[in-house]
Structure 1
Amino acid sequence: MDDVTDRLAQLERDDEELVLDHFDRRDAWELGHRLAHVALERALPVVVDVRTPAGILFHASLPGATADNDEWVNRKSRTALRFEASTALLGTRAEHVGFDFFDQGWLDPADYTVAGGAVPVRVAGVGVVAVATVSGLTSADDHQLVVDALREIMAN
């Protein structure tokens, strides 16, 4: 197996496993706070965001983050909500089969991106209810921060 195939398999597993029993505004605050706390402890220059299609539930721009990170968050979040999959998974699937989301003008790169860091929040029996997004690091590191925080919430 190659690196893309291995990464794709891991991202598919994450997608299947990251399902919460419930998710409300309090949970959104907990998830966002958890992400922001880890980022502050590690001095990571990121923006942390948790939102639904209707609006933002948590947003923090931490030291070192820029306005560009806010734009990346908007694009990543929009993509994950539209396709109900993490942007890392979408990007890796596309890479695996040689597909370009933007080649045929299907998606506007000003509004969407498949850079990692946006992970849908799924609730058992309901589906995707929100998206948690981080921007400021590499795509893989942004994605992993969100996955780790979701796994912590699931464990508690």
Structure 2
Amino acid sequence: MMIDQNKIIGQEKNALLTHFNLDDVDKLVISLKKIGRENFDKVCILIKINKRIVFFHAGTQTTNENNLWIHKKANVVDKFDHSSLFEKAIYEENPDKFYINNGLSRRDYAIVGGGFPIGLESTGIIGSLIVSGLTDTEDHDLAYQALIDIQSQQS
């Protein structure tokens, strides 16, 4: 199944916020819990602002494996300022090219869904929201929907 790059870019643009700082982290977590519902225990969640970890959640049904995926997805978002699913879409035909072209290691980077940039309308990407524990597209969708939810609360 081909992943639609334009759809993902559209989601990244749609999810831009007017502001996001430490005061907003709790609101994002509440949105993740609300939207994730029963899946919240199945996921690990990492929120970063300016590459600084400002929140981490390890669901009761997660393992260290999820932490490893979080790290790899976060590295992709931090390096490319795009969602990890977008990078997966670009290299869908030949995932090895991602690692070869960028000189990156599979140990540190994973092009699977779940890493989503946190961007501001005024300045661009300022952080990331990483989800791991569901399918990669479900991880991506949870992150996207949570950002859309807190966006709707901003004036």
TM-score for the superposition, normalised by structure 1 = 0.87
Residues 40 and 61 from structure 1, CA distance in 2 versus in 1: closer, same or farther, beyond 3 angstroms?
A: farther
Listed as ranges, the matches of 1:73-152 within 5 Å are 73-95=70-92, 98=94, 100-103=97-100, 106-152=103-149
The match for 2:18 is: 21
Identify unmatched segments of 5+ residues in structure 1: none
Aligned partners of 2:40, 2:102: CA distance in 1, in Å?
Answer: 38
RMSD of the alignment, in Å?
Answer: 1.9
CA deviations over 1:22-46 (Å, ceiling 9, x no partner): 0001212221332145435346511
CA distance in 1, matches of 2:88, 2:131: 16
Aligned counterparts of 1:13 and 1:105: Cα–Cα separation in 2:
24
1:51 pairs with 2:44: no
User: Percent sequence identity over matched residues?
Assistant: 24
Q: Which residue of 1 aligns with 2:150?
A: 153
Runs of 4+ in 1 over 4 A off after TM superposition: none
Superimposed CA distance per residue, residues 34-74 of structure 1 (whole angstroms, 9 cap, x where no aligned partner): 21454353465110110134421111101111111011111
1:67 aligns with 2:64: yes
Name the SS for the 1:19 alignment partner. coil
- 2:24 counterpart SS class: helix
**CA 1:124 to 1:137, structure 2 compared with 1: closer, same or farther past 3 Å?**
same
Gaps (5+ residues) in structure 2? none
Quick one: distance in 2 between partners of 1:31 and 1:11? 20
Q: Partner of 2:103: helix, strand, or coil?
A: coil
**Could you give the per-residue CA deviations for residues 5-38 of structure 1, whole angstroms, max 9, x where no partner exists?**
6x22211211222210000012122213321454
Within 1, Cα distance between the matches of 2:58 and 2:105?
25
Question: Once the two structures are superposed, what CA deviation does each residue of 1:82-110 show, in whole Å capped at 9, x if it has no partner?
Answer: 100000011112216x4621245711111
The alignment partner of 1:107 has SS state of: coil
Residues 44 and 133, structure 2, Cα contact 8 Å, conserved in 1 = yes
Flag the structure with more relative contact order, 1 or 2, with Cα contacts below 8 A and sequence separation at least 6: 2
Pairs aligned (count): 152
